[in-house]
Structure 1
Amino acid sequence: MREYAFHTVDVFTQSRFGGNPLAVFPDARGLDATTMQLLAAEMNYSETTFVLPPDNPAHTARVRIFNRVAEMPFAGHPNVGTAFVLARLGLGTGPVLLFEEIAGLVEVRLTREGYSEIDAPQPLKLIGELPVEAIAACLSVDPKKIATRAHAPVRASVGLEFVLVEVESGALAVSAPDIGAFRRCANAIPNLGERLSIFLYARDGFNIRARMFAPLSGTWEDPATGSANATLAALLLSLNGGERLAYHAVQGSEMGRRSELSLRAWRARDGIRASVGGSCIPVFSGTVKL
Structure 2
Amino acid sequence: MQSFHFVIANVFAETHFGGNQLAVFTDARGLSDLAMQSIAKQMNLSETTFVLPARDKVNAAKIRIFTPQAELPFAGHPTVGTAAVLGQRGLGAGQFVLEEAIGDIRVDVELRGDRIAARFQIDRPIDSPGFTPTNALVADLLTLAEADIAAAWFASAGVPFCVVQLAGREAVDRAVLDRNAWNAKRKDLWAPNFLLFAGKPTSERLYARMFAPALGVDEDPATGAAAVALVGSLAKRVVAGDGRLAITIDQGVKMGRPSVIEASVDVRAGQTSNMRVGGLTVILGEGSLAVPSN
Q: TM-score, normalised by structure 1?
A: 0.92
The C-alpha deviation readout for 1:100-134, integer Å capped at 9, x for no partner, is 11111111111443100111352222224112222
1:146 aligns with 2:144: no
Question: Structure 2 unaligned runs (5+)?
Answer: none
Give CA deviations for 1:164-206 in whole Å, capped at 9, x if unaligned.
11011031110111111221221234xx4xx511001000642
**SS at structure 2 position matched to 1:221:** strand
Amino acid at match of 1:237: A
Question: Percent identical across equivalent pairs?
Answer: 35
2:94 match: 95
- The one of 229, 232, 243 equivalent to 1:234 is 232
Structure 2 letter corresponding to 1:239? R
The residue matched to 1:286 in structure 2 has which SS?
A: strand
Aligned length: 281
Cα shift readout 1:45-72 (whole Å, capped 9, x = no counterpart)? 1100000001111111111000110000
Is 2:172 aligned against 1:181? no
Residue 164 of structure 2 is matched in structure 1 by 165
TM-score in terms of structure 2 length: 0.91
Alignment of 1:70 onto 2:73 = no
Q: Distance in 2 between matches of 1:9 and 1:278?
A: 13
Give 5+ residue unaligned stretches, structure 1.
Answer: none
Runs of 4+ in 1 over 2 A off after TM superposition: 267-271
The RMSD of aligned alpha carbons is 1.7
Matches of 2:253 and 2:70 in 1, distance apart?
26
Q: Secondary structure at the match of 1:4?
A: strand
1:119 aligns with 2:117: no
- C-alpha contact (below 8 Å) 1:62/1:101 kept by paired residues: yes
Which aligned pairs between 1:1-290 and structure 2 lie closer than 5 A?
A: 1-90=1-90, 92-93=91-92, 95-113=94-112, 114-120=116-122, 122-127=124-129, 128-148=131-151, 153-169=152-168, 170-189=170-189, 192=190, 196-203=192-199, 205-240=203-238, 241=240, 242-267=242-267, 271-273=271-273, 274-290=275-291
Encode CA deviations 1:130-161: one digit per residue, 9 max, x unaligned: 1222221221111211003xxxx221112221
CA distance in 1, matches of 2:49, 2:123: 17
Offset at residue 93 of structure 1 (A):
4.7
Cα distance between partner residues in 2 of 1:86 and 1:111: 12
What is the SS of the residue equivalent to 1:238? helix
